[in-house]
Amino acid sequence: MIRRIHTVDVFTSTPLKGNPVAVVLDAHGLSTGEMQAIANWTNLSETTFILPPPPRKGTGQAGGGADPADTAPADYHIRIFTPRAELPFAGHPTIGSAHALLSAGLVTPRNGILIQHSAVGPVEVAVPADWREAGLSFRLPPHQISPAPDPDALTAALGTPPLAPPAIVNVGPRWVIAELSDGATVRALSPDLACLAAYDRRHATTGLTVFAADGQGRVAVRSFAPADGIAEDPVCGSGNGAVAAYRLNLAQTAVGHAYLASQGREVGRDGTIAIRYAADGIHVGGQAVTVIEGQLRL
């Protein structure tokens, strides 16, 4: 059995930087167990599997300002796996998979939009005319924010107190978000990964994402998900989206604002994420580059 596979570095235009995702372009017929085994074998933070879109449940009416992601048929269905588990949604796999599909000529945007279907439902991916240079962006799925339990355990795992009470931001993955005092503290952080993994298992959270202004006009971000086999995610789209939602919830920013986040420097990846607050939601974007095109023989 032969399957086409691409590996795409996301949130960078430089090969071997950003965050790699393996994309199996024709996954129809693979079982869940086979997908998990492949993801464990690639040993990347995420591996995605592209499937035909689900049948459209009804045409509905697109008038009255309806959301195109809810009314348009999906262009493809995606399943996302870490080395240990399946995720309902993830950010860099969304951009990397769309980039791989576009590069392979397997999808065609409608009015500059692709609709990705996953466990969280439809996700809108914006495709500019110059997407190879300008990059892609997705609209963050609806999110929920709640106080993070057991904040003392988080402080102990971090080795430094957050500026404000941490929160769980559910964007499909359930990220614990904590703001630290400054970018230098974020960069120097060496958390207790065993404690973080135990926390995630205890509270059914995905991992911890920390952030702070880095003094260079950007927001410094780092993400840790040791319970899923990811000690540190190089550049995390859903984590950055969760940070953006957390900041909006605390009125640290507003609709119309945009900023750049920096992540991955500590693991040699140095990615850049573009965040934009629009009337229709939070948009997360960045560049991507294909580094491997090949065949998966099973």
Q: Which helix (H) or strand (E) holds 77?
A: strand 76-81
Output the tens digit of pLDDT for each of the chain's 298 residues.
899 999 999 999 999 999 999 999 999 999 999 999 999 999 999 999 999 998 876 544 344 455 656 667 999 999 999 999 999 999 999 999 999 999 999 999 999 999 999 999 999 999 999 999 999 999 999 999 999 999 999 999 999 999 999 999 999 999 999 999 999 999 999 999 999 999 999 999 999 999 999 888 899 999 999 999 999 999 999 999 999 999 999 888 888 999 999 999 999 999 999 999 999 999 999 999 999 999 999 9
- CA 284/CA 290 separation, integer angstroms: 19
Same domain flag for 245 and 158: yes
pTM of the predicted structure, to 2 decimals: 0.92
Residue with tokens 């006009």: 217
244/117 same-domain check: no
Contact 288, 273 (CB under 8 A): no
Q: What is the DSSP string of 196-229?
A: HHHHHHHHT--EEEEEEE-SSSSEEEEEEEGGGT
On whether residue 272 sits in a domain, the answer given is: no
If asked whether residues 92 and 183 sit together in one domain, one would say no
pLDDT of residue 62: 40
Cross-strand partners of 123: 116
In single-letter form, the type of residue at position 163 comes to: L
Q: Are 107 and 78 in contact (CB under 8 A)?
A: no
Do 254 and 192 lie in a common domain? yes
Q: Specify the pLDDT at position 217.
A: 85
Residue 168 lies inside a defined structural domain of this protein: yes
Encode 86-119: b = buried (16+ Cβ within 10 Å), e = exposed: ebbbbbbbbbbbbbbbbbbeebebeeeebbbbbe
* Same domain? 90 vs 160: no
Q: Any catalytic annotation for residue 34?
A: no
Render pLDDT for 107-145 as a digit per residue (tens, 0 to 9).
999 999 999 999 999 999 999 999 999 999 999 999 999
For residue range 12-25, list pLDDT tens digits in order: 999 999 999 999 99
Tell me what pLDDT residue 173 has: 95
Q: Is residue 184 in some structural domain?
A: yes
Residue 154 counted as domain residue: yes
For residues 125 and 98, the answer to whether their CB atoms sit within 8 Å is: yes
Q: Domain check: are 123 and 23 in the same one?
A: yes
Identify whether residues 119 and 149 lie together within a single domain: no
Q: What is the pLDDT of residue 54?
A: 87
Tally of domains in the chain: 2
Q: What is the CATH number of the domain that holds 80?
A: 3.10.310.10
Q: What span, in angstroms and rounded, lies between the C-alpha atoms of 51 and 99?
A: 15
Residue 29 is part of which domain span? 2-57+66-138+287-297
Residues 102 and 193 in one domain: no
Catalytic option among 34, 46, 133, 293 = 46
129 and 8, same structural domain? yes
**33 and 50 both lie in a single domain:** yes
| DSSP label of 3 | E
What separation in angstroms does the CA of 80 have from each of 21, 35, 93, 94, 220? 10, 9, 7, 9, 26
